[in-house]
Amino acid sequence: MVGDAGAIAPVPRDLIERAPKVLLHDHLDGGLRPQTIIELADEVGYQDLPAGDAPSLAAWFEQAAGSGSLERYLETFRHTVGVTQTADALFRVANECAQDLAADGVCYAEIRYAPELHVERGLHLPEIVEAVLAGFGAGERAALTAGRRIRIGVLLTAMRTAMHSRTIAELSVQYRDRGVVGFDIAGAEAGFPPTRHLDAFEFLRRENAHFTIHAGEGFGLPSIWEAIQWCGADRLGHGVRIVDDISTAADSSPVLGRLAAYVRDRRIPLEMCPTSNVQTGAARSIAEHPIGLLRRLGFRVTVNTDNRLMSGTSMTREMELLSEAFGYGLDDLQWFTLNAMKSAFIPFDERLAIINEQIKPGYAALKAVLADRLLGRE
């Protein structure tokens, strides 16, 4: 099978595992280890878990999240949020998240979570933010000790179904020099347009702060249009429904509508999460996911995990699935990775350093290994 860049696919899994990866769209409360959930539930007396052992619990999350409905998918978070209502729990899951991602070859990640969801046991918002930042710092150090270099940036998320977005936006600015790199809104899209939170976005723009918006996942083009044109989003969380603005001409060539052309031409990054999109019904299968068309048309597409627990996935797994479905080779995977690093919310010189010191050398080495294998020299 030949991919878009002309490479033979699929790429061997062991090479994908070793590839440097960049992750822009991953939820902290969607990536807990099943055993950690069980242990935290015991510590705090949380009694609503649907299973009592780690393998069964992992299977339940993946099955429940695969309902085909975004709203049903979001219900699974009741359990992960339920066991992360203390500073110690938040520190632990952030620490483990950094180490898990580093073990998967991720060299840079932006992890998002909603502080407002962790106040049930009396934590104040700054305590929540500081516990998570400390956990990520500990995880980065532990990963480095194990020979893995990773940097974590934090996105503070406000729930679009509530009205705390201005407070969370102010919190993201307050901590932006301590590891918080941006802001986001998340939750059910239908009936909760991003313009409900326009005050928060106007504040962030005045403060020269970065933000992304979940848009074009559970709802269509109007959500994407508002996120960009009214709110000024730097990136689109998912953005998969932008494909609704691409039609087919009589000669079968794609025709971009005004919004799709704007998104492509302005190089607005799309934080695409293939497995999650299939689970929520935003795409029918990996092979039919719009990422294939959007990559061919030159959109700034990035590959992400969304929720590693609910989707039973990792960055290695997402790239492996795309390589198998679309014939992507190492050149394609590097293209996705560079797109993501260019779109990160850290300063330009710091992005460039990761590109030149980790991503490009890493892929060059893997291409040499693959060439040796093809020539029978390994």
Positions marked active-site? 217
Q: How many CB atoms lie within 10 A of CB 339?
A: 20
- With contact defined as beta carbons under 8 Å apart, do 337 and 269 qualify? no
- With contact defined as beta carbons under 8 Å apart, do 19 and 297 qualify? no
- With contact defined as beta carbons under 8 Å apart, do 46 and 83 qualify? yes
- With contact defined as beta carbons under 8 Å apart, do 305 and 311 qualify? yes
DSSP summary character for residue 372:
H
The maximal CA–CA distance of the chain, rounded, in angstroms, is 63
- With contact defined as beta carbons under 8 Å apart, do 334 and 359 qualify? yes
CA distance 70 to 28: 18
Handedness of CA 184, 186, 189, 195 (dihedral sign): negative
DSSP summary character for residue 359:
I
Handedness of CA 259, 260, 261, 267 (dihedral sign): positive
In a 3-state reduction of DSSP, which class is residue 230?
A: helix
CA distance 211 to 203: 11
SS (H, E, C) 272-299: ECHHHHHHCCCCCCCCCCCHHHHHHCCC
Q: Following CA atoms 244, 249, 251, 252 in sequence, which dihedral angle do they give, to the nearest 10 degrees?
A: 0
Alpha carbon of 177 to those of 109, 126, 159, 353: distances in Å?
17, 14, 23, 19
The DSSP H or E segment spanning 157 is strand 151-159
The DSSP H or E segment spanning 212 is strand 212-215
**Helices 125-145 & 165-174, crossing angle to 10 degrees?**
50
